[in-house]
Structure 1
Amino acid sequence: MRFQGIYVPLVTPFKADKSLDVETLKILVQSFIDKGVSGLVACGTTGEYYTFSEEERKTVLTTVAEIAKGKVTLIAGINDLSTEGACRRAKEAEALGYEAFMLSPPAYSLPDQAGVIAHYETVAQATNLPIIMYNFPARVGVSIEYETVVHLAKNPNIAGIKESSGDFSRALRLLQTDFKDFEVVCGCDDQPVDFFFWGAKSWIAGAGNVFPEEQVALFNATQNNDWDLARKIMKEIYPAIHSMESGNYNQKAKLGCLKATIDVGTVRLPLSDLSHEEKEEFLKFFR
């Protein structure tokens, strides 16, 4: 499978009592499809998957699939604290019609690189669907080292890596490696123009919850070699993205959803809500 374009890791709408807001989730999914994104990631970090019960997880995956299947590429986040759990989540999502997975190394356990390799190879053996590795050491405490990426890229079921380390020197090394049937996906919302300039073809963008149209337009501009337009779009959306990347990312992704035009509720604990002052400061970007 080739990944090309903008893929949005969906926020999860909650009601005032923090229960799932399924009807708003349906509206949100259709809105992103209408904005021209290439795919959706359900149960990703931006979606607060770690707060879900198993029943809620199935509800979210099912709801997204019912609206989006056959219209855009469906990717399921299958992170779990154990490799066995990730295998189980892969099989559940595959049964619901998902076409690919996104998977980070297990958080908290701090596996060495041999453990990281075994983790991915075990999950890859449990499914025939492509896996996008997710390198975000600030989140999980473990980096997928360059040599590990090169090794795992040879596995036919491991199709790419979402590079979210923030270290563009590392990203550039990956982008200049002669991989076969393996893609380096932009995972840094403040670096997409750089990634696309060096040949990346996709961006899994939490900020896509906020700026889906702009990010689709930015991607299209880069594919047409219109770098002036790409820079112009990035300059316009950068202040809000910089604020998101500077802290309280999930809270701001929800508050600014579709440029602050749709209410998807607040976050669940252990994330805390923004203060009134913080909300007003962020909302200035959309006024």
Structure 2
Amino acid sequence: MNINGILVPIVTPFDNNGNVDAQKLTTLVEAFIDKGVAGIVACGTTGEYYTFSAAERELVLTTIAEAAKNKAAKNKGAENKGAENKGAENKGAENKVTLIAGINSLSTDHSIELAAQAKALGYDGLMLSAPPYSLPEQEGVIAHFEKVADASELPIIMYNFPARVGVAIEFDTVAHLAKHPNIVGVKESSGDFSHALRMLQANFDDFEVVCGCDDQPVDFFFWGAKSWIAGAANVFPAEQVALFNATQQGDWDKAKQIMSEIYPAIHSMESGNYNQKAKAGCLKGSMDIGSVRVPLTDMPEDEKAEFLALLSK
């Protein structure tokens, strides 16, 4: 499973009646692929997965998978045609983005069920947090991840976001779980870069420390991270792809310039109403994808206007 680059935890468009808008979701997937992202994460935090019925979850997962597959086929066809016109041999690039399904749940066994669904629908990997609300000790966190990893054939990226989940995945726990062949990385969203740096310095075998903090990507990439799963990629997909590419080419001045340009909006998102701003600012505010669902509420119009103004600077 390739996770190098920018992966978008995609927002979920809702229509005026609050229903999932599958047509706009398809358009979003295609737009993100055109912007050069390496992957799509379905049913993540910015996707508001916790509001879905079982039928809606299946609809979202299916729509994203089919949109990505169809887009890859179109791109492949265009490349083949271009190669034929030039009389050149096509090397067979797959034009395939990585598809990851979030499988967070209060119940470990339910996460296993969601993992099986993701595999059946053609996903490449899974993203999983520690179980929220139950506040397990680290032994319980290990048991949770190992039980899901033992039950599923798909690789798992752990998701460390204690501010939302209520429990952290500590360094020693990561070191233990990184040895599991089915656990391939951790999305580090604690905001504690010292914790991230310790993991990056550990150089775990066949294991990626993924940037999960929208305001820290240059730091992560400087120390060797190869991936950024960023809710703000809903707003800045092209810019974040360009930032990643600059770091991989060693052009740190360009990376810092891009980060400086998008930082005011990212700082605004991190300061409050994150999901609301990810949706209002989708594709730099060029696409109306509807409101957030309760228990979230729409932000005030003046705050929305102030945020959108940051996208045009």
After TM superposition, the score normalised by the length of structure 1 is: 0.99
Mapped to 1, the partners of 2:14 and 2:56 lie a distance apart of 11
Mapped to 2, the partners of 1:56 and 1:45 lie a distance apart of 15
2:219 corresponds to 1:194: yes
Corresponding residue for residue 131 of structure 2 = 106
Corresponding residue for residue 50 of structure 1 = 50
- The Cα of 1:286 is off from its aligned counterpart by 2.3
Corresponding residue for residue 153 of structure 1 = 178
**Which amino acid in the other structure matches residue 107 of structure 2?**
S
Corresponding residue for residue 40 of structure 1 = 40
Mapped to 1, the partners of 2:3 and 2:41 lie a distance apart of 12
* Equivalences for residues 127-142 of structure 1 within 5 A: 127-142=152-167
Mapped to 2, the partners of 1:24 and 1:2 lie a distance apart of 26
| Conserved? CA contact 2:33–2:97, under 8 Å | yes
2:107 to 72, 82, 105: 82
**Which amino acid in the other structure matches residue 189 of structure 2?**
S
Deviation readout 1:229-252 (Å, 9 max, x if unpaired): 000000000000000001110000
Corresponding residue for residue 213 of structure 1 = 238
Local SS of the residue matching 2:202 = coil
**Which amino acid in the other structure matches residue 139 of structure 2?**
A
* Equivalences for residues 179-258 of structure 1 within 5 A: 179-258=204-283
Q: Which runs of 5+ in 1 are unaligned?
A: none
**Which amino acid in the other structure matches residue 54 of structure 1?**
A
| Conserved? CA contact 2:99–2:124, under 8 Å | yes
Corresponding residue for residue 12 of structure 1 = 12
| Conserved? CA contact 2:159–2:189, under 8 Å | yes
Mapped to 2, the partners of 1:284 and 1:132 lie a distance apart of 35
Deviation readout 1:74-124 (Å, 9 max, x if unpaired): 000000110000000000010000000000011111111111000000000
Bigger-Rg structure (1/2): 2
- The Cα of 1:264 is off from its aligned counterpart by 0.6
- The Cα of 1:34 is off from its aligned counterpart by 0.5
2:52 corresponds to 1:27: no
The percentage of aligned residue pairs carrying the same residue is: 70
| Conserved? CA contact 2:49–2:57, under 8 Å | yes
Deviation readout 1:211-267 (Å, 9 max, x if unpaired): 000000000000000000000000000000000001110000000000000001110
Mapped to 2, the partners of 1:3 and 1:10 lie a distance apart of 15
2:114 corresponds to 1:96: no
Corresponding residue for residue 86 of structure 2 = none
Mapped to 2, the partners of 1:8 and 1:2 lie a distance apart of 14
- The Cα of 1:54 is off from its aligned counterpart by 0.2
| Conserved? CA contact 2:8–2:41, under 8 Å | yes
Mapped to 1, the partners of 2:310 and 2:22 lie a distance apart of 28
Corresponding residue for residue 62 of structure 2 = 62
Corresponding residue for residue 81 of structure 2 = none
Matched length = 287
- The Cα of 1:128 is off from its aligned counterpart by 1.2
Mapped to 1, the partners of 2:285 and 2:249 lie a distance apart of 29
**Which amino acid in the other structure matches residue 58 of structure 1?**
E
2:146 to 104, 107, 121: 121
Q: Post-superposition, which runs of at least 4 consecutive aligned residues in structure 1 deviate over 4 A?
A: none
Q: Which runs of 5+ in 2 are unaligned?
A: 73-95
Mapped to 1, the partners of 2:273 and 2:143 lie a distance apart of 33
- The Cα of 1:126 is off from its aligned counterpart by 0.9
**Which amino acid in the other structure matches residue 37 of structure 1?**
V
- The Cα of 1:2 is off from its aligned counterpart by 4.1
Greater displacement, 14-23 / 93-102: 14-23
Deviation readout 1:37-88 (Å, 9 max, x if unpaired): 0000000011000000000000000000001135210000000110000000
Mapped to 2, the partners of 1:16 and 1:251 lie a distance apart of 16
| Conserved? CA contact 2:2–2:98, under 8 Å | no
- The Cα of 1:17 is off from its aligned counterpart by 1.5
- The Cα of 1:178 is off from its aligned counterpart by 2.3
* Equivalences for residues 260-275 of structure 1 within 5 A: 260-275=285-300
